[in-house]
Structure 1
Amino acid sequence: MPDPVKPTGALGGAVRWFVIAFMVIVLDQATKLAAEHFLSPRDVIPIMPSFNLVLAYNPGAAFSFLASAGGWQRWFFMLLAIVVSGVIGRLLLKHRAETLFCWAMSLILGGAIGNLIDRGYLGHVIDFIQLYYGNFYWPAFNIADSAICVGAALMVWDSFRKPKPASQ
């Protein structure tokens, strides 16, 4: 008899990775709603040295890439996020036993969908975290962006951990 706690079938073992992605989406959307509720554009709320809360709307991609491209970039980045999400979903199913790789993919998936929701619903992404050092200010970002960056770093780390195949 199958273990009732352990999922079986096509999703067997992969459910947890989709749950992690879902948790990233929920946290991302909740913090963006809170930022819009408590902050106004141009507000700068110092939290601690080198960390502010700000409210920024980004119609482009990372670091406002293509922000002033005329509107087509919204649809391009939405399509890209949908395609990437589908590929990541397949990778999670295929590699569900590879823990570090799946953590990376789950974080990237959750971040991609979190920003996709903003682009689809609002036409821009809500950013609210600002880091700085002296007069150098990193562009504002959000939880989805953070999840994507952490996921990418984990993916790189995972690639160095895997043994190289023996040459024939």
Structure 2
Amino acid sequence: MRLMARIAAFVLLLDQGSKFLVVQGLGLDRIGQMAVLPPWLNLRMAWNRGINFGLFAGEDAITRWALVVMALLISAWVWHWVTRRPHEGRVQLAAGLLIGGALGNVIDRIAYGAVADFLNVSAPFWDNPFSFNVADIAIFLGAAGLVLFTGDSKSGRA
């Protein structure tokens, strides 16, 4: 379980550190966007009040706190589920990614009222309108890892 805790802490620190650097250090919240490796990588500020791609976004406090509670409950459930019996390292890695990313976005919702998204990946002839952050990457990879690595191959059950 130490691996899961270390990965979660690393992701949380990397996520919050990158957000602090970009939002506070570079002032992206004021300037809006900055080309890094155009068109492939840009910094584009977006305040996400919902979940992925702004789904379930709402301006009210109920939505904000419901998403905080949901992320905390999911994180606690994943922690409990992984700690109730031994799992191999890749399962603990995936769980740590998901938990660290979820907690990073929870901190944003509490501190800013929304999640700070700033990474934008586009391509020539395609301008991606969406931004994301380190926590989003970790949540996606963690969820995918849990789906891929937690099945019981002997019985066919998860």
Global fold match (TM > 0.5): yes
Shift in alpha-carbon separation, 1:17–1:163, aligned structure 2, 3 A: same
In structure 1, which of residues 61, 68, 78 is the aligned counterpart of residue 68 of structure 2? 78
2:126 matched to 1:135? yes
In structure 2, which of residues 80, 87, 90 is the aligned counterpart of residue 100 of structure 1? 90
Match of 2:32 in 1: 42
How many angstroms apart in 2 are the aligned matches of 1:142 and 1:53?
10
2:117 matched to 1:117? no
* CA radius of gyration, larger in: 1
Match of 2:137 in 1: 146
Q: Structure 1: which amino acid aligns with 2:22?
A: A
In structure 1, which of residues 66, 69, 72 is the aligned counterpart of residue 56 of structure 2? 66
Structure with the larger RCO, 1 or 2 (CA within 8 Å, 6+ apart): 2
How many angstroms apart in 2 are the aligned matches of 1:101 and 1:16?
10
In structure 1, which of residues 22, 34, 44 is the aligned counterpart of residue 9 of structure 2? 22
Aligned-residue CA RMSD (Å): 2.1
Contact in 1 for aligned 2:47/2:114 (Cα 8 Å): yes
Q: Segments of 4+ in structure 1 off by > 4 A?
A: none
Superimposed CA distance per residue, residues 81-122 of structure 1 (whole angstroms, 9 cap, x where no aligned partner) = 111111112123124432222111110000010000111121
Gaps of 5+ in 2: none
Contact in 2 for aligned 1:96/1:102 (Cα 8 Å): no
Higher helix share: 2
Match of 1:155 in 2: 146
- Paired residue secondary structure (2:122): strand
- Paired residue secondary structure (2:110): helix
Shift of 1:41: 4.3
Superimposed CA distance per residue, residues 43-95 of structure 1 (whole angstroms, 9 cap, x where no aligned partner) = 23232442111222111111111224534210110010111111112123124
Gaps of 5+ in 1: 1-13
Aligned residues between the structures: 153
- Paired residue secondary structure (2:36): strand
Please, what TM-score do these two structures have when normalized by structure 1?
0.81
Shift in alpha-carbon separation, 1:166–1:100, aligned structure 2, 3 A: closer
